[in-house]
Chain A
């Protein structure tokens, strides 16, 4: 069974600074996807960024980027120029296969607070 580990239950960062959230996973699959989801306080969870395992290039979405180390089974999220609106729970997730109807496995989450 796949497992996803987020070793930092809570983190904080000053506005405009950069922060990196860690995620490691365990799998014997060769084809899979990795995700970061964001859950702002009292609001619904949304997708931040997605990485396909067979792509070597790290995914980026504006101020959000990942450092995908396939051999190390590591998938960290970097947030640049942190904003107050980045305050949220962040969940790393794994999905095996190439898409379709596979289920996601989530980590336990990291609570990020951006301080003014």
Chain B
């Protein structure tokens, strides 16, 4: 089974702190994604990565950056956390080589971040 592991299920940080959210997948997937999930807003794409060292902004990249130095790991960085970044963060991965078309997204369990 594909496993997407997010390093922390729950985090509490202070305003202005630098925050790292780590995501690791074990299926050699090319694509990795970071979404933010808020009630009533659904899932919004922050950043995605087609492959190692490649990244592209999603719909809400402001205040975030990402790093993908190795294929299996995709990190989301909040350089200076703010209270409006309190949210659930979901990582997902997908093979770009699935037969029959669109590959399935595999999600981690999520990281719930509270910024005080």
Stretch of B14-22, B40-48, B69-77, B79-87 with 4 or more beta carbons under 8 angstroms from chain A: B40-48
**Chain A residues near B31 (CB-CB < 8 A):** 101
Chain A residues numbered 84-106 whose CB sits less than 8 Å from any CB in chain B:
91, 95, 98-106
Q: A52-B101, A95-B102 are in contact. Are A43 and B109 (CB under 8 A)?
A: yes
- Cα A50 to Cα B102 in complex, Å, equals 9
Smallest beta-carbon distance B46→chain A, Å: 11
**Digit string of A34-52 for contact with B (CB within 8 Å is 1, else 0)?**
0101000001111100101
A interface: dominant SS = loop
Which chain A residues (57-116) contact chain B, with CB distance < 8 Å?
91, 95, 98-109
Q: In angstroms, how far is the closest chain A Cβ from the Cβ of B2?
A: 11
Q: Which residues of B are found within 8 Å of A104, using beta-carbon distances?
A: 45, 105
- The residues of A with any CB-CB pair to B shorter than 8 Å are 6, 9, 33, 35, 37, 43-47, 50, 52, 91, 95, 98-109
